[in-house]
Structure formats: C-alpha cells, structure tokens
A and B are shown apart, each in its own frame.
Chain A
Amino acid sequence: GESVGLHLPTLSVQEGDNSIINCAYSNSASDYFIWYKQESGKGPQFIIDIRSNMDKRQGQRVTVLLNKTVKHLSLQIAATQPGDSAVYFCAEEARTGGGNKLTFGTGTQLKVEL
C-alpha cells in the first residue's frame, strides 16, 4: 500500500542554523510531493512542492530535495528562526483528476532554540 512517513519525530536546532527534515515515501505513482507547516492550533500551511520529474526546488529560505531512487524527500530551512517552530508534514499526491487527495506523513516537530 502507499505510505508516507518521517524519520525523526522531533528536531531541535539553534536559531540561525540550518534545519533538515526528512521524509520517506513508498508510492512511486505520486506526481507531487509537498511540505506543509502546522503551527499549534492552526491548519496546515503550504510551504513548497516539487514535481516528481524534478530533484530540487528552492523557495524563500527553503529547499526541497527529491531522491526518487531511494524514495526520499527532504526540506531544508536556511537560517532557522523561532517562527519556524512548528510541526512539518510531508505529503504526496497524484494530480490526475478531480480528487487529488493529499496523503500526509506523521509529522516532525521542529523546535528552534534561542
């Protein structure tokens, strides 16, 4: 069956350091892989996505890397700030029709220490 999972449930980093959050997936049919950020008491917030035919995509302070050979996805956050503290979910979807449901992983708690 399909599954998306995370290696580390909690990641603590010092403010200003770079953060790397990892995710493993098993559904090779997914078209897109997405990172969402969820702050306490809020809904998931889109950060960045990457299409399955790409291996790297950069946004503002964030970079997503996709390694299809080992079915691994990572989110790199540069110069981590206190406002980055949240739970980060990877998700995958096959954008093939009207459903296009997201399948979420279990989440990684990022804690930024001052």
Chain B
Amino acid sequence: EPEVTQTPSHQVTQMGQEVILRCVPISNHLYFYWYRQILGQKVEFLVSFYNNEISEKSEIFDDQFSVERPDGSNFTLKIRSTKLEDSAMYFCASRYQGNTEAFFGQGTRLTVV
C-alpha cells in the first residue's frame, strides 16, 4: 500500500539552528501539506502546496518557515532559526486531488534544545 514517508523520525537541534524535514508523498498525489502537533495537543495546519506554489498558510507559518519540492518526489519543510517552541511532531500529508482523503506520514519529532 502506498504511503507517505518522512525522515528523520526524530531530530534534535540547537536553538537557532536550521532544520530541514523531509517527506516523500505518495507518487501520484498532487496536493501536499505540513501539519504540526505539539505534545498532547491537536494537529495544526501549517501550509498547503499545489502546482509548485503555496496555496495557503497559517499564522504559524511565518518567515522562518519555507517549503520546497526540489524534485519530483521530495517535499521539504525548512525552519531557518529554530526556537524552543518549534518542538513538536511535524506531519507531512498528501492527497491525489482536492476532494479526496489526505494521507499522513508517521511524522518527524523535532526537539529544540
């Protein structure tokens, strides 16, 4: 069964450092998303990406965040200068079309120390 894969599963970084979280969406999917989940809280939308550009972003997705689809398979989330409050699980998701279900990856746990 096709799945969304994310790497690494766990990333520890120093405050102020840049991190890149990687995702490989399901191959024929066209819509891509990043969500985050602070421990014990609900899943929050960060950004959606379609046709090589951002479709929508939340207030959380400030200038420190960026997304990129560098090739035909990867979808990355970059945080330029991490803060303690960026510590969370980051989930990548993809969907084939806008009206179909979204599939989530297993997540990357980011710990900023």
Give chain A's interface residues, CB within 8 Å of chain B.
34, 36, 41-46, 49, 89, 91, 95, 97-107
User: A residues within 8 A CB of B4?
Assistant: 43
Residue of B nearest to A32 (CB): B99
Is the CB of B65 closer than 8 A to any CB of chain A? Answer: no
Give the interface segment out of B12-20, B48-56, B69-77, B80-88: B48-56
User: A residues within 8 A CB of B101?
Assistant: 34, 46, 49
Please give me the 3 A-B residue pairs with the lowest Cβ-Cβ distance, nearest first.
A99-B56, A43-B104, A98-B50
Is the CB of B8 closer than 8 A to any CB of chain A? Answer: no
B41, B44, B91, B98: the one within 8 Å of A97 (CB): B98
Name the residue in B43, B95, B104 with the highest tally of chain A Cβ atoms < 10 Å from its Cβ: B43
Additional pairs, 19, CB under 8 Å, beyond known A95-B98, A98-B48, A98-B55: A36-B104, A43-B91, A43-B93, A43-B104, A43-B106, A89-B43, A98-B51, A98-B56, A98-B98, A99-B50, A99-B56, A100-B31, A100-B48, A100-B99, A101-B56, A101-B58, A104-B44, A106-B41, A106-B42
Complex CA–CA separation, A89 to B48 (angstroms): 20
Complex CA–CA separation, A13 to B43 (angstroms): 25
Is the CB of B25 closer than 8 A to any CB of chain A? Answer: no
Distance to closest chain B CB from A46 (angstroms): 5
User: B residues within 8 A CB of A95?
Assistant: 98-99
Q: Chain B contact residues: over half helix, strand or loop, or mixed?
A: strand
Total chain B interface residues with beta-carbon distance under 8 A = 27
Complex CA–CA separation, A95 to B4 (angstroms): 21
Q: Chain A contact residues: over half helix, strand or loop, or mixed?
A: loop
Is the CB of B102 closer than 8 A to any CB of chain A? Answer: yes
User: A residues within 8 A CB of B51?
Assistant: 98
Q: Is the CB of A104 within 8 A of B104?
A: no
Complex CA–CA separation, A46 to B48 (angstroms): 18
Complex CA–CA separation, A30 to B48 (angstroms): 17
Q: Is the CB of A104 within 8 A of B43?
A: yes
Q: Is the CB of A102 within 8 A of B45?
A: yes
Q: Is the CB of B99 within 8 A of A99?
A: no
